[in-house]
Each structure stands twice: as C-alpha cells, then as structure tokens.
Amino acid sequence: MTAKGSGRDRSIAAHDNPDAARHSISTGDSTMTVFTHVTLGTNHLDRARSFYDKVLGEIGLSRMADLGDNGSIWGDGAPSFFVLKPVNG
C-alpha cells in the first residue's frame, strides 16, 4: 500500500497536538495513559526502513505504507510506528 501526501499531513497535524497520540483507559480503580503510535524522525530513510523492517518484524509489525521521500509507516492492522523526514530538517 502506498499513501500519498495526506499521511504526512496528518502526521504533522498530530505534532501540533501532543495529546493526539494518547488515550486514557480505565483499569479498575486507576486510569493510565497509553500511546496509540510513535513517530521518529530521520534524514536516512533508506537505512531506517531496512532497520525497522527487521526490528519491528520481530514484534509482528510490518510496513504498511511508504510516503516516498517523507517516510514510512509500520503497524499490525492499524498504523502505530512512523519514521518520517524531520519537518525542521
């Protein structure tokens, strides 16, 4: 699957709201915060793709989308790990 520019736009928008990747869940008497996704930045996308294909594959995640020169997305049914070209270079 290849995602067009819209995936990058959504990722940037999430950075404007640090809470966008978090949800609270109740567990009995307490509430805890869990992350729905993680985003990392790199200027070495080819090396990062190769590395994360291997590492994330070990925990059951596979590459779901490539965003061209902007990055890639991994997950297991839903996107959960993003490697993107940094917005600030």
Q: Would residue 29 count as lying in a domain?
A: no
Lookup: tokens for 57: 């594959």
- Count of domains in the chain? 1
Q: Would residue 77 count as lying in a domain?
A: yes
Q: How far is CA 72 from the centre of its chain?
A: 8
pLDDT in tens, the chain (89 residues): 434 444 444 444 444 555 555 556 666 777 766 788 999 999 999 999 999 999 999 999 999 999 999 999 999 999 999 999 998 88
Tell me, what's the pLDDT at 30?
72
The rounded distance, in Å, linking the Cα atoms of 39 and 13 is 12
Tell me, what's the pLDDT at 40?
96
The rounded distance, in Å, linking the Cα atoms of 47 and 11 is 21
Lookup: tokens for 65: 């989308």
Tell me, what's the pLDDT at 34?
78
Residues spanned by the domain of 3:
1-11+43-89
